[in-house]
Amino acid sequence: MSVTSNPTLLADILMPGRENSLVKNIILAVVGSMILWACAKIQVPFYPVPVTMTTFAVLVIGMAYGWKLGAATILLYLAEGAAGLPVFAGTPEKGIGLAYMLGGTGGYLIGYVLAAALCGWLAEKGWDRNTVTTALAMLFGNIVLYIPGLLWLGILFGWDKPILEWGLIPFIPGDLLKLALAAVTLPLIWKTLKKN
């Protein structure tokens, strides 16, 4: 595999060639949306709630693709879901399409786009090259993801409800585990690629 002389993003290594080639970007976006679909269906038993790998995939795709292609990939994934494809966790059992998207997870879906864009922007600055900055990028991405998620829950169900207990606190242990996994994996990939 030929690698560009000084790649900025992992996507440059995954698919070497012209940086902003339309065909390359379409292929990467479709592959990324398929990875998201698969990760949404992976459910790992964990305490206090089972963990899906969707947020991990969202943040890693952002870091691997950069902010523009990362956000576009998430938007493609959301368009697939809006069209009625069962791409989200809990679909089709919990509904599909816009009805599902306007439910309790709707704000988090918007947060996916923002988180991928932020992580992608930070990766373009080289934050995916070492463990500390990768962990910080993932942390910031998680924060950006949760803000619209929690706001939407509050609007949907009312601020007198235990919004943080429903939409944040149970997910923190799993998110910390995914953050640690990404913080180890991405810099390791860069280190391995530098040796080749």
pLDDT in tens, 52-92: 999 999 999 999 999 999 999 999 999 999 999 999 998 99
Percent of the chain with pLDDT over 70: 94
What does the alpha-carbon distance between residue 152 and residue 51 come to, in Å, rounded to a whole number? Answer: 21
The pLDDT value given to residue 196: 62
* Residue found under tokens 């065909």: 23
pLDDT tens per residue, range 173-189: 999 999 999 999 999 98
pLDDT at residue number 5:
46
The span from the CA of 153 to the CA of 163, in Å, is 7
- pLDDT, residue 51, reads 87
* pLDDT surpassing 80 at residue 16: no
Using an 8 Å Cβ cutoff, are 69 and 120 in contact? yes
DSSP H/E element including 140: helix 131-157
Pick from 3-7, 78-82, 98-102: least confident: 3-7
> What is the structure's pLDDT at 67?
96
Phi and psi at residue 174, in whole multiples of 5°?
Answer: -65, -40
Is-contact 35 29, C-beta < 8 A? no
**Amino acid in position 134:** T
What is the residue-averaged pLDDT of the chain? 90
Note the pLDDT tens digit of each residue in 146-180. Answer: 999 999 999 999 999 999 999 999 999 999 999 99
In angstroms, rounded to a whole number, what is the distance separating the alpha carbons of residues 18 and 143?
A: 33
Given the candidates 1.10.530.10, 3.30.70.20, 1.10.1760.20, 3.40.50.300, the CATH classification of the domain at 10-195 is 1.10.1760.20
Task: Say if residue 101's pLDDT is above 60.
Answer: yes
Identify the bridge partners of residue 44 per DSSP, sorted by sequence position.
51
**Which residues are CB-neighbours of 119 under 8 A, at least 6 positions away?**
59, 60, 62, 63, 67, 70, 137, 138, 140, 141
Q: How confident is the model at residue 7 (pLDDT cuts 50, 70, 90)?
A: low
Q: Is the pLDDT of residue 4 over 70?
A: no
Domain spans, the chain = 10-195
Amino acid identity for residue 140 in this structure: F
Q: Is the pLDDT of residue 2 over 80?
A: no
Task: Find residue 164's DSSP bridge partners.
Answer: none
Distance CA 181, CA 131 (A): 10
Confidence (pLDDT) at 50: 82
pLDDT of residue 3: 38
CB 101 within 8 A of CB 81: yes
